[in-house]
Chains A and B, each alone.
Chain A
Amino acid sequence: MNKARSKPVNALAMHGALILYTLIALFPVFIILINSFKSRRAIFREPMALPDAESFSLIGYQTVLKQGDFLLYFQNSMIVTVGSLFFILLFGAMAAYALSEYRFRGNTLMALYLALGIMIPIRIGTVAILEMMVATGLVNTLWALILVYTAQGLPLAVFILSEFMRQVSDDLKNAGRIDGLSEYTIFFRLVLPLVRPAMATVAVFNMIPIWNDLWFPLILAPAEETKTLTLGSQVFIGQFVTDWNAVLSALSMAILPVLVLYVIFSRQLIRGITSGAVK
Chain B
Amino acid sequence: MADRPRIRWHILVFLAPAVLVYSAVMIFPLFNTLRLALYTEVERERVFVGLENFRTLFFDPVWAEQFWNALGNNFWFFLIHMAVQNPIGIALAALLSHKRLRFAALYRSAIFIPTILSFVIVGFAWKLILSPIWGIAPSMLDAVGLKSLFAPWLGREGSALTTLALVSVWQFVGIPMMLIYAALLSIPEEILEAGEVDGITGTAAFWKIKLPLILPSIGIISILTFVGNFNAFDLIYAAQGALAGPDFATDILGTFMYRTFFGFQLQLGDPHMGSAIAGAMFAIILVGVCLYLFGIQTRMRRYQL
Contact = CB atoms under 8 A, between A and B. Distances in A.
Interface stretch (B71-79, B113-121, B154-162, B207-215): B113-121
Given A25-B111, A230-B120, A128 B29 contact: yes
Interface in A67-119: 87, 90-92, 94-95, 97-99, 102, 104, 110, 113-114, 116-117, 119
Contacts of B234: 212-215
A184 B29 CA distance: 32
Chain A interface, DSSP helix/strand/loop, else mixed: helix
A193 interface: no
Q: Which of B136, B181, B202, B286 lies at the interface centre, i.e. has the most chain A CB atoms within 10 A of its CB?
A: B136
Contact of A254 (B103, B120, B274): B120
A190 interface: no
Contacts of A21: 88, 92, 107, 111
A117 B114 contact: no
A268 interface: no
A4 interface: no
B190 to A, nearest CB: 19
A29 B120 contact: no
A275 interface: yes
B56 interface: no
A121 interface: yes
Nearest to A24: B170
B116 A150 contact: no
A270 B178 contact: yes
B109 interface: yes
Contacts of A65: none
B69 interface: no
B84 interface: no
A230 B118 contact: yes
Contact of B178 (A98, A261, A274): A274
Interface stretch (A10-18, A51-59, A195-203): A10-18
Contacts of A98: 11, 14-15
Contact of A102 (B11, B129, B282): B11
Among A182, A187, A273, residue most surrounded by chain B Cβ atoms (within 10 Å): A273
A115 to B, nearest CB: 11
A155 interface: yes
A17 B117 CA distance: 23
A128 B28 CA distance: 8
Nearest to A99: B15
B128 A266 contact: no
B8 A102 contact: yes
Contacts of B115: 208
Interface string A119-154: 111111111111110000000000000011011101
A168 interface: no
Nearest to B107: A18
Contacts of A95: 14-15, 17-19
A278 interface: yes
Contacts of B25: 122, 129, 132, 147-148, 150-151
Contact of A14 (B98, B118, B170, B271): B98
A247 B115 CA distance: 21
A114 B116 CA distance: 27
B114 A128 contact: no
A151 B33 contact: no
Nearest to B14: A98
A234 B238 contact: yes
Contacts of B92: 18, 21
6 contacts: A14-B98, A123-B233, A126-B274, A215-B234, A218-B237, A254-B121
Closest 6 CB pairs of A and B: A125-B29, A95-B18, A212-B118, A128-B32, A151-B25, A98-B14
Interface of B: 8, 10-11, 13-15, 17-19, 21-22, 24-30, 32-33, 36, 88, 91-92, 95-96, 98, 101-103, 107-122, 124-126, 128-129, 134-136, 139, 170, 173, 178-179, 181-182, 185-186, 202, 220, 223, 227, 231, 233-234, 237-238, 254, 257-258, 261-262, 271, 274-275, 278, 281-282, 285-286, 289
Interface of A: 10-11, 14-15, 17-19, 21-22, 24-26, 28-29, 31-32, 43-44, 47-48, 87, 90-92, 94-95, 97-99, 102, 104, 110, 113-114, 116-117, 119-132, 147-148, 150-152, 154-155, 158, 182-184, 187, 208, 211-215, 218-219, 230, 233-234, 237, 244, 247-248, 251, 254-255, 258-259, 261-262, 266, 270, 273-276, 278-279
